[in-house]
Chain A
Amino acid sequence: MDIETHEETIEAAPEDVWGFMVDPGALSAWFGADAWLEPRPGGAVRFRFTDGIERRGSVEEITPFRELRWRWREHRGAGFGSTIGDASSVTIELTRVAGGTRVRITERPAAALATA
């Protein structure tokens, strides 16, 4: 099945855009969430959104200035009555284009990847 990919061209070099993806402070500003990302394969990924919902996971692939992929799942509440969502995989690809960087983001349910 086709899963929508989101794209935007940003008037800045890939290096500048990359800096936003791997710096927790910049990432927090970007997502409007308390964000933490350890930029190495297997590194921890954590977003705490303003509504209290958390998304946690780990980095799956990282190619500096080109591609970042992580897997995460939603965590709501804590202890008894807390719920954990299914995993999905987020890929951010950067491509240098005339006048800036094309950013392409794809999020797919991990279940769709497992047997695809």
Chain B
Amino acid sequence: MITTKTNTPVEVLEAVVIRFVGDSGDGMQLTGNQFTDTSAMFGNDIATFPNYPSEIRAPQGSLYGVSGFQVHIGSVEVSTPGDEVDLLVAMNPAGLKTNLYAVKPGHTIIVDSDSFTKKNLEKAFYETNPLEDESLENYRVIQVSMTSLTKEALKNVEGLDNKSITRSKNMFSLGMVYWMYHREKDYTLDFFNKKFKTKPHLIEANTKVLNAGYYYAETLELIPNSYTISPAKMNPGTYRIIGGNTATAWGLLAAAEKSGFELFLGSYPITPATDILHELVKHKHFGVKAFQAEDEIAGVCSAIGASFAGDLAVTTTSGPGLALKGEAIGLAMMTELPLVIINVQRGGPSTGLPTKTEQSDLLQAMYGRNGESPVIVIAASTPANCFNFAFEAARLSLEHMTPVILLTDGYIANGSAPWKVKSIAEMPEIKNNKITKVKENWHPYDRNKDTLARNWAIPGTAGLEHRIGGLEKDSVTGNISYEPENHEKMTNTRAEKINLVKNNIPELKTEFAETGDLLVIGWGGTYGSLHSAVKQLNKEGFDTIGLAHFNYINPLPKNTKEVLSKFKKIIVCELNSGQFITILKSNFNKFDYYQFNKIQGLPFANNELIQEFKKLVN
């Protein structure tokens, strides 16, 4: 065993999950992000997940005002933010109370013991002080008088009020965690210099507190071990930590630049999709036109207008908003205009669980419109690949002249992970169906014979003036038609147009086993959970379990049936009561499907998946 100069033993770990919790005002998101970025620079693989209170300014010390940030770092591949935590840093009793359930027995909890006052204990509904009774005896609790030590460290710094002093105690905890996990402080020190450029006293204060925490941990005998997590093996390149919603926004920026269209966003704020709007409004330098509309309907309608006028048009929302947009999406489908609809799913129905994750809008995305109204439906599966699938949604909508619904969810939208930065040059080409020259006998619904996409004449183009709308139109002229046979023909054409998209999307891949006893099927944001569960089983010797994860849902990849037929059993895992399985059954009814569903507003936990899969192969 290696030892440090203070003779603390150093343990080498493959991965570790740390959760920072405290009051909303304690700066836990910042602390977590600093630890994340520092670990990323060090070369670990990472997944994070924030947990904010829904209240904007919850009362101090209250249970529902606890803000948390979880980070999973590894020298091995990390695909989820983790289920249980190895280290909990709790800045107050409420944080401890609401997060203790997640700590692995025998593992470490660091608390700011100064915050365990009678008043705070009462606010957290503790009858006795958990630091003094036996309730924490199964954990390794490190009590630190963080508030007083922070004050002590800052006693000679000029120009600080009490509030700034108390607010910097999060840096004390970060300093301690940096020491425990052998992290360099440089990145964070540099961050202080940038952030507080005009406030040198704050640079000094934060630096002092971070160092104080670091050296306190080093000398503290209560900390039995320190740990190292070596850099992970990752493909060489430039990386950054990116959140799912930012990745989605950036994918759209890339698609606009690649396709040569200007980007228009029509949106209305809704949790958890609003951060995409927040991100895109910043990018006026790329000519992004982001329009905050008066409601969800005006959001999608303005996007339809912008698409008609020749922009790459997008609307962003979550479940309830998708319901409101339904009629307008039908119009975009009927007028065959390109339109990207992004639904960051949250717990439903109705207002449901706005801050929790779920996959329960799949059937709404597929069928939530009047009449037969097929659109392309795709789903991102990790925070980082939100970039690829936002780009893909734009590509497919422009190439096929159709609305595309991209499903993400609160879990991947708010989570973050390393993203190997994509240069625009690496992104695939995006074609379009624009027509700029007058042709003889031209009609607005003339179609590309391979894709059935109609040609796109944009206002401002002389000689191609035409009218479109929600009424059924003649298959040749595009004029209004109520002819029975024409309606059937047009209905079939619109369906076939979406079906043909299968020629323009990749085939379904299986991981871990190409053929075998059990095929685990998932779609969208559960990829990380399913991947790590199947991977673990594979390591344990269950090498006949394969994973097929779907990103393309309508249409399904061409080889779907072939993949399904290679396994004895199939289990479809979803965070709903069985929506994708309904689609699979209606397409491929010869197979026997098992299903595993969870509707708790939470992602799958590793152990529950493993248990379930083992039952099916034993």
The judgment on whether A and B are partners is no
